[in-house]
Amino acid sequence: MSSPANNPDERVPQHVAVIMDGNGRWARGRGMPRQAGHRAGVKAARQIVEACGRRGVRVLSLFAFSSENWKRPQQEVGMLMKLMVEALDREVDELDRQGVQLRFIGDRALLTPVVRERMSRAEGRTRDNHGLILVVALSYGGRWDITAAARQIAAEAAAGSLDPESVNEALIAGRLCLADLPDPDLLIRTGGEFRISNFLLWNLAYAELYFTDVLWPAFDDNELDKALDFYARRERRFGRTPEQALESAR
């Protein structure tokens, strides 16, 4: 994958992460059941995947189901898992046709065998594609991600295969779910909330944060362009002075 410096248009984020919020409120506002909102959210996700591909985004990470979402009513959780299976059965052929590489991150041990099987099948089907990389966070939490990395490092140190003195940021980052991908440049959260809700805590350290009141099922190409325009106007310094950032961009 090319580095940001080699991006044909540096104003376009290489990696966009999205917290898709507002499905339930969208449905409630229309007198519809929550399930209708989640189905509309899947349709919006499909549109944004295509739109990001057309705009030159290389990686799109969607927060589909968090570690905390397991606390929701069992009936709703079951419905969401069923919807995930249906979406995979319906969408994978088209994603593959478009050259999208599909990946899943999260604690798979908590998912049903049916969901895990569909995920593995979809990943295998699209593994060799070279277009947009679509990362779906399912049963995922940023704290879980960092804890799992720390546990792996501790086990390696205890086994004597890793010197504790060698532990640094790069080593930790290499044990996280997005180890082989660039960190998100832009985080989009829909639905009017102003928090990142335990999503990619390590990786979002220097992301530009874009919050919108638009509910996820209503987030379309035009709304995406507003987020990308916001990003294009940002000065990304990564701790440097404005002068240093300008010199680095030349």
Question: For the chain, percent helix, then strand, then coil, each to nearest 5?
Answer: 50, 15, 35
In a domain, 4, yes or no: no
Above 80 in pLDDT, residue 116?
A: yes
Burial of 157 (0-12, 13-18, 19+ CB in 10 A): middle
Above 50 in pLDDT, residue 162?
A: yes
Please check whether residue 20 is in contact with residue 45, taking contact to mean a CB–CB distance below 8 angstroms: yes
Above 70 in pLDDT, residue 27?
A: yes
Q: Which two tokens stand for residue 119?
A: 């995920």
Mean pLDDT of 52-62: 97
Q: How confident is the model at residue 41 (pLDDT cuts 50, 70, 90)?
A: very high
In a domain, 235, yes or no: yes
The number of C-alpha atoms within 13 Å of 248 and in the hemisphere containing its C-beta is 14
Range of the domain at 141: 12-145+182-249
Above 50 in pLDDT, residue 5?
A: no
How far CA 50 is from CA of 45, 88, 134, 141, 211, in Å, comes to 9, 16, 11, 26, 21
Among 150, 141, 67, 81, which Cα is nearest to 112's? Answer: 81
In a domain, 71, yes or no: yes
In a domain, 5, yes or no: no
Q: How confident is the model at residue 237 (pLDDT cuts 50, 70, 90)?
A: low
Q: How confident is the model at residue 152 (pLDDT cuts 50, 70, 90)?
A: very high
Number of domains in the chain: 1
How far CA 65 is from CA of 16, 102, 144, 215, in Å, comes to 17, 16, 13, 16
- pLDDT of the residue at 236: 77
What type of residue sits at position 32?
Answer: M
Q: Tell me which residues are annotated as active site.
A: 21, 69
Between CA 212 and CA 231 the distance in angstroms is 13
Between CA 69 and CA 62 the distance in angstroms is 15
Percent of the chain with pLDDT over 70: 91
User: Which residues, at least 6 apart from 52, have a Cβ–Cβ distance to it below 8 Å?
Assistant: 16, 60, 132, 224
Please check whether residue 4 is in contact with residue 14, taking contact to mean a CB–CB distance below 8 angstroms: yes
Q: What is the mean pLDDT of the chain?
A: 93
Q: How confident is the model at residue 235 (pLDDT cuts 50, 70, 90)?
A: confident
Above 80 in pLDDT, residue 247?
A: no
Strands (DSSP E) contained in the chain are 15-19, 59-66, 101-105, 133-140, 186-189, 208-211
Among 206, 221, 185, 241, which Cα is nearest to 52's? Answer: 221
In a domain, 229, yes or no: yes
In a domain, 166, yes or no: no
Q: Which two tokens stand for residue 107?
A: 């604690």
How far CA 245 is from CA of 229, 231, 233, 238, in Å, comes to 19, 16, 14, 8
Q: What is the CATH number of the domain that holds 110?
A: 3.40.1180.10
In a domain, 27, yes or no: yes
Which of helix, strand or coil describes residue 66? strand
Please check whether residue 192 is in contact with residue 211, taking contact to mean a CB–CB distance below 8 angstroms: yes
What global pTM score does this model have?
A: 0.91
